[in-house]
Amino acid sequence: MGYSNSNSEQIDYLKLNAKTDESNSPFFTLAVKGADGKWGTDGRFDQVSGYVIGVSRKEGEWQGNPIYSVRVKFVDDQEPTKKFQVEATYNSLTYSILNSLLSLDKSKPVRIRVYSRQSKNDGKFYASAHVESEGNRVDWAIPVNEIPRPEIGMVGKKKVVDDSAVVDFFHTVIDNLTAKFGSTGSPSPAPASEAPNEEQPPQPPAQQQPSENESFKVGAIERARAQASAAQATEPPPLMGGEDDDLPF
């Protein structure tokens, strides 16, 4: 029989990649550990399904900026002995999924499908999610007009975004999901210092987007002023929300 720990838990780890453009669609990917001990990824999946049994949030740092992520733990709805955990950084696609999980009946399985869709307004491609349970769509618990918007400010002639109110809001959403489903109780295999799957933070409304040559920074405007001399990043396109609804950033 070899050796084992009687209280050990076998679990697969997946990450959600939200990068979306004309050539890329969002996807889930399996985290795997290589022979060199480093974590990598394998495969692309457009959906996951199962019973949610835990939700937790964690904080890390990347290139001097805070990185927030959420972990959602599932039991496979087809194989009850199989468990897996999905980790996603904070962005509009993640927020859309979390908003639907607030409405989910925790006694029922859920299926989350991610895909890209092209906007009729600007022709750009955006990440979207369809969340359903037993064939029925799971709608958002929080209406879009009740979700705080980022604040737009100026650092010299540069436009910056303070999304701290949005981040705090979804901290609370995740804490409520933890109270509903329980904690994941399992650490992520990738250390917090590793690069996140998507470096883009939650985005501002389309009408408030900085142009490609303008600075886009996360967090308080005061921090942006202190870091105004740092290297500037090109803003990625905004990520959108649900299948029929768009998040305000």
User: Could you tell me if residue 190 is inside a domain?
Assistant: yes
pLDDT given for residue 165 in this prediction: 92
pLDDT given for residue 147 in this prediction: 92
Give the C-alpha separation, 17 to 52, whole Å. Answer: 20
Domain residue limits at 89: 11-226
| Among 62, 68, 27, 64, CA closest to 48 | 27
User: Could you tell me if residue 179 is inside a domain?
Assistant: yes
Between strands 83-89 and 11-17, the pairing is parallel
Q: Percent of the chain beyond pLDDT 70?
A: 71
Residue 110 DSSP SS3: strand
User: Could you tell me if residue 1 is inside a domain?
Assistant: no
Q: What is the DSSP string of 19-39?
A: --SSS---EEEEEEE-TTS-E
User: Could you tell me if residue 198 is inside a domain?
Assistant: yes
User: Could you tell me if residue 237 is inside a domain?
Assistant: no
| Among 207, 173, 156, 138, CA closest to 68 | 173
pLDDT tens, position by position, 177-227: 999 999 998 554 544 334 444 433 333 333 333 333 332 223 333 333 344
Give the C-alpha separation, 6 to 21, whole Å. Answer: 46
| 214 burial type by CB count under 10 A (0-12 exposed, 13-18 middle, 19+ buried) | middle
| Cα Rg of the chain, angstroms | 18
Give the C-alpha separation, 23 to 38, whole Å. Answer: 28
The residue count for the chain: 249
The answer to whether 192 touches 61, Cβ cutoff 8 Å, is yes
User: Could you tell me if residue 116 is inside a domain?
Assistant: yes
pLDDT tens, position by position, 125-153: 999 999 999 999 999 999 989 999 888 88
User: Could you tell me if residue 249 is inside a domain?
Assistant: no
Number of domains the chain contains: 1
User: Could you tell me if residue 242 is inside a domain?
Assistant: no
pLDDT tens, position by position, 68-112: 999 999 999 888 889 999 999 999 999 999 999 999 999 999 999
pLDDT tens, position by position, 28-51: 999 888 888 888 888 899 999 999
Give the C-alpha separation, 203 to 92, whole Å. Answer: 7
Token pair of 30, please?
Answer: 């399996």
The answer to whether 69 touches 90, Cβ cutoff 8 Å, is yes
The answer to whether 50 touches 31, Cβ cutoff 8 Å, is no
pLDDT given for residue 173 in this prediction: 96
218: β partners = none
pLDDT tens, position by position, 173-188: 999 999 999 999 855 4
Using the 8-state DSSP alphabet, how is residue 182 labeled?
Answer: -
